A and B are shown apart, each in its own frame.
Chain A
Amino acid sequence: MVKKSVLSLLVILVTLAVLSVEASNRPNIVFLLADDLGYTDIAPYGSEVKTPALSKLAEEGIRFTNYHTAANCAPSRAMLLTGVNNHLAGIPNIPEMLAPEQMVHENYQGVLGDNVVTIATLLEGSGYHTYMAGKWHLGAEPGKLPSQRGFERTVALMDSGADNWEQRPYLPIYDEANWFADGKRFELPDDFYSSRFLIDKTIEFIDNNLDDGKPFFAYVPFQAVHIPVQAPQEYIDRYMGVYDEGWDQLRQTRHDRAVELGILPEAVSMNRMSTTADWETLSPDRKRYEAKRMAVYAGMIEAMDANIARLVAYLESRGQIDNTIFVFTSDNGAEGSGAQDPTAFPGNILLSSAYDTDYETLGLKGSFNSISPGFTSAAVSPLSYYKFYVGEGGLRVPLIISGGPVSDPPAQTAAFAWATDIAATILGFARVDTPNGRYAGKPVLPITGKDLSPILRGEVEGVYEETDTVGYELTGHSALFRGDYKLVRNLQPLGDGEWRLYNIVIDPGEVEDLKAEMPDRLKTMLADYALFEEENGVEPIPPGYSRTRQLVINMLREQNGAAILIALLTMVLLIPFVVYVRTRPKS
């Protein structure tokens, strides 16, 4: 009897020891997420912007050339962190752009639903330290903060964006820039610059617990390069003069470099967006100003890269680099809604009260900067459209997976990959099971993303079968991927509402519409899309919906709702008195 007990104890101890060794061998994971970064905005994808840290990660890891995400930020983040379609996860669009008719639906609240579990929660539950420093934008209400969605230490921006130099909102829809740390409101330090600060905090979080032997998951959603586009002067200076030839030249140069790098299989045809102005018709002053707008943008990317380099150097210095996996990507394509000319009406009126747009100080503290749509098209070269649209320029972005534990992967892959796959892949790295319908005693949606690890190990060329479909919708803009083909419909103002069919492997620029040549495929994919809408609770957009108009309407209600209500009620009370005064018999 005693012998049996001792034997059982030994078996338990050995099992625990094996599990413990297994746990300690699990890799650290650093998830770096750029904001509004275009397809060819970093050097390993064909950019002239110097990004040595990302280039090194790309050289040592794998570049995905056919990775797609959502067309705007919160929907993308919902999929990245849960592995579940954004419509099911409660974020079909950012809340700032949702119409009241849409918000009557439970899954149209614009905040992360309680029916999904984040990878941070799953990783924390399996013994990981989980850290976050950067933009959250998945809900600021109780229960929705990152500190309540699986992140052990956080410093997080709740809004769609904010100033990079100080605690200041970038749009009048916010009273203030809403930063939280570990679940409580947080004041930024005086020497704040977003990319530097976020990496400082990430290093601080990691360093505090590094000696306990547990692996960590660090999520770093940068503000770079979301508007306002701002950068330290030293980084801006490096790109002065680089963009003097204009956006058409840059779009072609990046295309050519992407071909040289093998990002594009060969030279591809490109559309010219209607929003791209004729560079040659601009005055010398306008050209000078536009070139500087883009120089600040490039400087902001390089500043982000320099801070990624600091994080890598820190991990090297602490002997962690060989056990750390890096995932780098962008939440969506480059932002194309910057003003054509921010110094002219109406941009100057809108911004003059809050920010300046002077040439000399562009991108510095107190300055508001964006890039014009022409340079946005260059940022996504050779793709069509950009953020908020479902052309490849809005959806296709860089994805790099790298680091010691990812041993000897192929240099790059043209395999199709989708935002939900990131969650599944990260859980695969950590050897954490995905929730199968339940987690922590309550039902949750299963992860639908696919683990990309077999591609990294060179075992398969892709994880999607020819018949697998991935659908996507944002404010009526619609897309469906199936094999090499993409069904796509962009609405106004830039699109025409027509369905089109492209082979995005040989025609990533979406130039040759194949729907007349392939009516059967078109019919099949239209049916697939209808099924996607049905299965994912996609609701039709309200008649006359426009995202810009809805943003303004929601802003009016949020900022001035109480004052308007008091005025209206007062008016209702006064109407009978006015009528009485005007109709009473004159004596």
Chain B
Amino acid sequence: MMTWIRRGLTLVVILPGLLFLVLGLRWLVDPASAAPSLGLTLETGFGLSSQVADLSAFFLVAGLSILIAVVTRGRTWYYPPAMLLLIAATGRLIAWLVHGAAFVPQTIAFEVVVAVLLLTASRYLPERD
């Protein structure tokens, strides 16, 4: 793969990594402003605890894994965020099919596209020497 394509792919992969990092931090610092972007209303008590803990974990693990993959050039680090995103997209489809949730094609498409990018990066970006 040509160098400029590799650099472009690296840049394209970093952007969602940073986005997820910011989202994860928002869930820790200001969950009230993070909730509406996912169609959520903030719970109280145990529910609020689960929202802050699980959603910050999801986004921080996804974002940090991408950034670690880029910095360390360790290809296997791309797989956890790719799996998170693919399973999230699958969950959205199942929620629509089975549980009466809204069909959100834009969000599903975003998750699938980023996951495909990560898998592409895992295949074509150079591995650590």
- By a beta-carbon cutoff of 8 Å, the part of chain A in contact with chain B is 99-101, 103-104, 542, 553, 557, 561, 564-565, 568-569, 571-572, 575-576, 579, 582-583
Q: B96: CB under 8 A from chain A?
A: yes
Contact check, A571 vs B90: say whether CB atoms are below 8 A apart: yes
Main secondary structure of the interface of B (DSSP, over half): helix
Contact check, B102 vs A568: say whether CB atoms are below 8 A apart: no
Residues of chain A within 8 A of B103, CB atoms compared: 100, 553, 557
Q: Which residue of B lies closest to A553 (CB)?
A: B103
Contact check, B102 vs A542: say whether CB atoms are below 8 A apart: yes
Residues of chain A within 8 A of B101, CB atoms compared: 100
Contact check, A575 vs B83: say whether CB atoms are below 8 A apart: yes
A-B CB contact pairs (8 Å), 8 listed? A100-B100, A553-B103, A561-B97, A564-B93, A564-B97, A568-B90, A572-B90, A575-B86
**Seed contacts A100-B103, A571-B86; 15 additional CB < 8 Å A-B pairs:** A100-B96, A100-B102, A101-B102, A104-B100, A557-B96, A564-B97, A565-B97, A568-B93, A568-B94, A568-B97, A571-B90, A572-B87, A582-B79, A582-B122, A583-B79
Q: B76: CB under 8 A from chain A?
A: yes
Select which of B83, B94, B100 is within 8 A of A565 by beta carbon: B94
Q: B98: CB under 8 A from chain A?
A: yes
CA distance A565 to B79 in the complex (A): 24
Residues of chain B within 8 A of A582, CB atoms compared: 79, 122
CA distance A542 to B93 in the complex (A): 18
Residues of chain A within 8 A of B97, CB atoms compared: 557, 561, 564-565, 568
Residues of chain B within 8 A of A561, CB atoms compared: 97
Q: How far is the CB of B37 from chain A (nearest CB, A)?
A: 12
CA distance A572 to B100 in the complex (A): 20
Q: How many A-B residue pairs have CB under 8 A?
A: 41
Q: How far is the CB of B56 from chain A (nearest CB, A)?
A: 23
Main secondary structure of the interface of A (DSSP, over half): helix
Q: How far is the CB of A24 from chain B (nearest CB, A)?
A: 51
Residues of chain B within 8 A of A583, CB atoms compared: 75-76, 79
CA distance A572 to B94 in the complex (A): 11
Q: How far is the CB of A447 from chain B (nearest CB, A)?
A: 32
CA distance A557 to B95 in the complex (A): 11
Q: Which of A561, A568, A571, A582 has the most CB of B within 10 A?
A: A568
CA distance A323 to B100 in the complex (A): 51
Contact check, A575 vs B87: say whether CB atoms are below 8 A apart: yes
Identify which of residues 66-112 in chain B touch chain A, using a CB-to-CB cut-off of 8 Å: 75-76, 79, 83, 86-87, 90, 93-94, 96-98, 100-103
Residues of chain B within 8 A of A579, CB atoms compared: 79, 83
Q: How far is the CB of A224 from chain B (nearest CB, A)?
A: 34
CA distance A100 to B83 in the complex (A): 27
Q: Which residue of A lies closest to B103 (CB)?
A: A553
CA distance A583 to B94 in the complex (A): 28
CA distance A575 to B85 in the complex (A): 11
Identify which of residues 8-55 in chain B touch chain A, using a CB-to-CB cut-off of 8 Å: none
Q: Which residue of A lies closest to B76 (CB)?
A: A583
Contact check, A103 vs B100: say whether CB atoms are below 8 A apart: yes
CA distance A385 to B42 in the complex (A): 42
Q: Which residue of A lies closest to B79 (CB)?
A: A579
Q: How far is the CB of B78 from chain A (nearest CB, A)?
A: 10
Residues of chain A within 8 A of B83, CB atoms compared: 575-576, 579
Q: Which residue of B lies closest to A569 (CB)?
A: B94
Q: Which residue of A lies closest to B122 (CB)?
A: A582
CA distance A565 to B94 in the complex (A): 6
Q: How far is the CB of A468 from chain B (nearest CB, A)?
A: 38
Q: How far is the CB of B96 from chain A (nearest CB, A)?
A: 7
CA distance A579 to B76 in the complex (A): 9
Q: Which residue of B lies closest to A545 (CB)?
A: B102
CA distance A241 to B106 in the complex (A): 48
Q: Which residue of B lies closest to A554 (CB)?
A: B103
Residues of chain B within 8 A of A565, CB atoms compared: 94, 97-98
Q: Which of A103, A571, A579 has the most CB of B within 10 A?
A: A579
Residues of chain B within 8 A of A553, CB atoms compared: 96, 103
Residues of chain B within 8 A of A103, CB atoms compared: 100
Q: How far is the CB of B110 from chain A (nearest CB, A)?
A: 15
Q: How far is the CB of A584 from chain B (nearest CB, A)?
A: 10
CA distance A101 to B122 in the complex (A): 38
The 5 closest A-B pairs by CB, nearest first: A100-B100, A553-B103, A579-B79, A568-B90, A583-B76
CA distance A104 to B102 in the complex (A): 11
Q: Which residue of B lies closest to A556 (CB)?
A: B103
Q: How far is the CB of A582 from chain B (nearest CB, A)?
A: 7
Residues of chain B within 8 A of A564, CB atoms compared: 93, 97
CA distance A99 to B101 in the complex (A): 9
Q: Which residue of A lies closest to B98 (CB)?
A: A565
CA distance A430 to B98 in the complex (A): 47
Residues of chain B within 8 A of A100, CB atoms compared: 96, 100-103
Residues of chain A within 8 A of B100, CB atoms compared: 100, 103-104
Q: How far is the CB of A459 from chain B (nearest CB, A)?
A: 51
Q: How far is the CB of A200 from chain B (nearest CB, A)?
A: 41
CA distance A575 to B122 in the complex (A): 15
